[in-house]
Structure 1
């Protein structure tokens, strides 16, 4: 049967890299694609890559990508006969699946029963246990008081893992190691569950120490039949969010693969699963042949490209075929895995600031050659706090695991994103960990790593940053909009040379003094166009990228596989900062508590004027679907500057903790 019998028009009810990835397959199959977009995404790449795009609401997900009537209206307006939900948003929403069916539009995913059963962790766990799928000891807290939960927790045994029943992606998960920790953890988990999923029902399970996270890709025909396409190792996680994934797992042998696959297919068949889904298992590090069901994700996974790489199967195409009633088109017999694939998730975040999400405009974006990159951004894209901070996935494939890891590291070194902080340097540090290289990791590996420190820039980056300063000072001279450049001593319009060095402060706070000698004169004759004068800036050597953010004055350089950012300082300011650094008492702590990023205050844990101890939670800020607690740096009295519901900006002081005993304050404080 030809590809044209699939669908004529498919609406992609999502955004970012997954929307672009689905559109890519639709285009290959000759199917008309419809994109939807919010106010924040009016200029997003997926909007102009689709055959048609429809605006569906405001920037908040609740007003757009989660707005079922708006999505269905867009489908009706454009004549879409099917909707692909991607992942996240409405992809596992049973009400949305039912609404599609009522509107006569095909939902490219499972039916309502599968969504309802597998969309609730408690129901899913109880359901699959009746089909021979092993489960972790635990219990549902639905309808229970905290006292009753405490009693059952004692019976089950600590440590425990609290999980929102309706959730996913690690949101709201809390580890509890004693009865004393239980009340606070329950309150936090419920609050995050309500905010993220609209349901604060919780599931408590025995915590498997030093676990590995293994998942199996399945395709179900909707009539009780299912096949699997091997497993993915998703053990490298931070805050229960996957960071690096690979296929196959380095600890799963052929026999265990078949057992895992059989259990995954049994779980899928138990609900007559239709389409592509993933069954997730937890595996004890000491016993890789022993596994327990965690949940089933009734959608495409973020990490699906590694399965595509080792099987040669386009999973989006299979979703379309199954939804159209054509059935999956995969090779018969046991799955054959070719080589090894590894994927890294690139986030807009600052690992040196506790992995806080970052926002801003993408000044430069360049993908690595020789690797697959599924990206959400392009030149000029604006990354806001409205959505998940993942901006791209980089996938490498090689004959063996060592080759795939090396290829991924090389691809990350070539990936250029200037203008916004990313986790690329951290990803490369993670790949280099001995346990990662040996394949002996567990889900706590990242937590055990030393705090990430922003790498210091190399000589090439510093030299190029000085070039940017020299050029900018030459071009602006005394122009009134030059901003910081006016204050640079020794620079004047068309000056033949710099009389002072350039002072640069990198993202790690280090101050560098760099000479810009020999860089003040462009190589082309002065009579040529101004653009030609600065051709060396527009076309730097291979592997070097340079940009300046005109709004902030920040200089961004990518050289030698590392991205660095710099602030330009005057000589006086550089001296002040150096003296302050030398004078700083290592034991001192700042009483001002700044917001780590833009967001909303979702909880205040103390009252104004309350005495607090070091480490006590003061308040929590929610941003990019994550909750960030702000804690007291020392013992003292807290003064609150914000309340629940307030919107705050990055570095805004939200509270002050005055030192309780003045005699204990550092001298001069």
Structure 2
């Protein structure tokens, strides 16, 4: 047996860093965390045996800084580096640099990373080993004119993909030839910004496909096995949301076991084609109508976010085997010994607001309740595991990816696993920033999801009909009671001498003013509802809610949070002066009228400006794009008129900061109507 490492540095952050550190502790290996200034108090820093600062909050100056990480290895005595996923996990230069310093890279050879990181070369490489590929054109160096000329031979609809990309960034569906120029321009910009390479290629779009991937393990002696497949068809904009193992498609067809063997062998062949070693994932598009038809998409030369579902159905710790293989150990398991037991489902918890078109969210974790380590069976015979980076009091910023944690459930069958995951999400509490937990529960309980009728377009079809919970009378009463501080405290002063308004007879009602966000039917913001709640001494506080108050902000009203069964909501507590100001500010705009001010919906960076100051614009025209948490949000004009810009490309902006103002032409000015704003009383 190979000699294992004494010290391993984890070159990542968040939940994956915590997850890797957990296995290192079990293996008796000293763990080293690295952190940026933004992560000085992060959970992975607390859980590691030691930690080294590597730079400022900017990822380019910290988690993507190869020299800083190598210096941290030297400083801490680390013999090997686990890259997690994202950041430098699939960076061939990083692997080469580590090797040149005598530090082991816990991952595949640099040549395999380089080849599989180029989608064009990867497709050509695996095709030579008999792995089926999607029809398309994949040649290096093609310009826009050449891709437009080649598009008809590929056939519409087609998919534009970055050669160096991943995670759906820069991918665009094009329905006809007329849509090619604009889509290529956007894809190149996103690819260049995200990957430093704007090379593109084209693939035939497979309608209603299933996204099924296969986990492989390979050692340095050439032994390769697969650990079954994962179904990752529940995606939004090419980003996975819920994953499960095994695939319900292969479980439902008579020849599913044979297809599993075929697709598993194809994945192993893809790994063999590049002399792969370590853990890797080969992704396929699979025809829902004919599961025997599957096509290679790409190989991820790292651990996947969804790896826990494979661990829970196989009982194999993938991180442990990554470490053992990197140390030179051969696989102890042959293909015939891989057994899939039960079913596992994973949901990704993101810092985002699905009711507002999935805008990224940031803030302090004011209340947190996570429970589940996957080690014990419940009374229903299920297990729940939570991989998380959250801590009470932690401040989540917009500097990095918005994923906060993953909730994973195992059951003896798919229905039991889905039920266990839904129940776990119902108990999951995180207040202080918006999360997608309510949205995840809506998805899990959709009839098509329950029946296993999945495809990569399902979420987009279901979203418009999703009914997100809005605060009602019960919720507002609970919020008002919290805002008022509960019952009137005893002062110790005789009531005849106190100047608190006490009087004989029934207690006077206390009034609490709240601002309640309202949503437009299309998911965008549509203003707020001003509510005055009258509190009587006889009012009881509903006990089912989890509540949390924000600390007093330097400016603006204080907020409070309500949580219940995975749902959460932020309300503002207004004093009389602020409430009056809000009323007056809205009195000149009719209900639903367009707002001439274009505000950033989140803190972030302006990455592009599509108009010039003083241009005449039409309603719906793209003005600027703001990026935060690796997501780009496009801001458009709400009405026609002349645009005045107050921000430029590269500017750092705050949430609700005015970036542009539209001055409507006189004939199109419909904003001043002299009507009262919306408000309500309870």
Give me the TM-score of the superposition, normalised by structure 1.
Answer: 0.89
1:310 corresponds to 2:313: yes
The structural deviation recorded for 1:575 is 8.6
The structural deviation recorded for 1:466 is 2.6
2:328 aligns with one of 322, 325, 329: 325
1:610 aligns with one of 608, 612, 615: 615
The structural deviation recorded for 1:445 is 1.4
Structure 1 pair 231/570, CA: closer, same or farther in 2 (3 Å)? same
1:260 aligns with one of 255, 260, 263: 263
**Which segment is superposed worse, 616-625 or 128-137?**
616-625
Q: Is the 8 A contact 1:474 1:493 kept in 2?
A: no
The structural deviation recorded for 1:609 is 2.6
Q: Is the 8 A contact 2:120 2:139 kept in 1?
A: no
Corresponding residue of 1:529 = none
The structural deviation recorded for 1:662 is 1.6
Other structure's SS at 2:662 match:
strand
Other structure's SS at 1:109 match:
coil
Q: Is the 8 A contact 1:497 1:520 kept in 2?
A: no
Corresponding residue of 2:358 = 355
1:339 corresponds to 2:311: no
d(CA) in 2 for partners of 1:493, 1:587: 40
**Which segment is superposed worse, 33-42 or 509-518?**
509-518
Q: Is the 8 A contact 1:368 1:412 kept in 2?
A: no
The structural deviation recorded for 1:422 is 0.6
Q: Which runs of no fewer than 5 residues in structure 2 stay unpaired? A: 251-255, 373-382, 492-498, 519-527, 675-682
The structural deviation recorded for 1:514 is 4.0
Q: Is the 8 A contact 1:470 1:520 kept in 2?
A: no
d(CA) in 2 for partners of 1:492, 1:273: 75
d(CA) in 2 for partners of 1:331, 1:316: 18
Corresponding residue of 1:487 = none
The structural deviation recorded for 1:520 is 9.6
After superposition, residues 337-416 of structure 1 pair within 5 angstroms as: 337-369=340-372, 371-416=384-429
d(CA) in 2 for partners of 1:344, 1:258: 27
d(CA) in 1 for partners of 2:587, 2:597: 21
The structural deviation recorded for 1:430 is 1.4
The structural deviation recorded for 1:551 is 3.2
The structural deviation recorded for 1:7 is 1.2
1:164 corresponds to 2:177: no
Q: Is the 8 A contact 2:590 2:671 kept in 1?
A: yes
Q: Is the 8 A contact 1:475 1:494 kept in 2?
A: no
d(CA) in 1 for partners of 2:70, 2:140: 33
1:173 corresponds to 2:174: no
Other structure's SS at 1:287 match:
coil
The structural deviation recorded for 1:598 is 1.4
d(CA) in 1 for partners of 2:484, 2:19: 42
The structural deviation recorded for 1:123 is 0.9
Q: Is the 8 A contact 1:235 1:242 kept in 2?
A: yes
Corresponding residue of 2:45 = 47
When the two chains are superposed, the root-mean-square deviation of aligned CA atoms in Å is: 2.8
Other structure's SS at 1:333 match:
helix
d(CA) in 1 for partners of 2:598, 2:661: 6
Q: Which runs of no fewer than 5 residues in structure 1 stay unpaired? A: 478-490, 522-535
d(CA) in 1 for partners of 2:489, 2:365: 23
The structural deviation recorded for 1:519 is 7.4
Corresponding residue of 1:20 = 18
Other structure's SS at 1:251 match:
helix
The structural deviation recorded for 1:632 is 2.3
The structural deviation recorded for 1:474 is 5.4
Other structure's SS at 1:125 match:
helix
Corresponding residue of 1:517 = 536
Structure 1 pair 516/164, CA: closer, same or farther in 2 (3 Å)? same
Q: Is the 8 A contact 1:10 1:33 kept in 2?
A: yes
Corresponding residue of 2:455 = 442
Q: Is the 8 A contact 1:16 1:391 kept in 2?
A: yes
1:290 aligns with one of 279, 293, 307: 293
Other structure's SS at 1:289 match:
coil
Other structure's SS at 2:316 match:
coil
1:547 corresponds to 2:560: no
1:620 corresponds to 2:625: yes
CA deviation vs aligned residue, 1:525-552 (integer Å, no higher than 9, x gap): xxxxxxxxxxx9xxx96x6422100134
1:92 corresponds to 2:95: no
d(CA) in 2 for partners of 1:599, 1:565: 21
After superposition, residues 65-104 of structure 1 pair within 5 angstroms as: 65-104=63-102
Structure 1 pair 575/144, CA: closer, same or farther in 2 (3 Å)? same
CA deviation vs aligned residue, 1:30-85 (integer Å, no higher than 9, x gap): 10000000010000010011001000111111101111111011111111111100
Other structure's SS at 2:54 match:
strand
**Which segment is superposed worse, 446-455 or 659-668?**
659-668
The structural deviation recorded for 1:433 is 1.5
1:563 aligns with one of 561, 568, 576: 568
Q: Is the 8 A contact 1:473 1:492 kept in 2?
A: no
d(CA) in 2 for partners of 1:266, 1:498: 77
Other structure's SS at 2:510 match:
coil
d(CA) in 2 for partners of 1:461, 1:330: 54
Q: Is the 8 A contact 2:509 2:537 kept in 1?
A: no
Aligned residues: 637
The structural deviation recorded for 1:627 is 1.7
d(CA) in 2 for partners of 1:596, 1:499: 36
Structure 1 pair 287/633, CA: closer, same or farther in 2 (3 Å)? farther
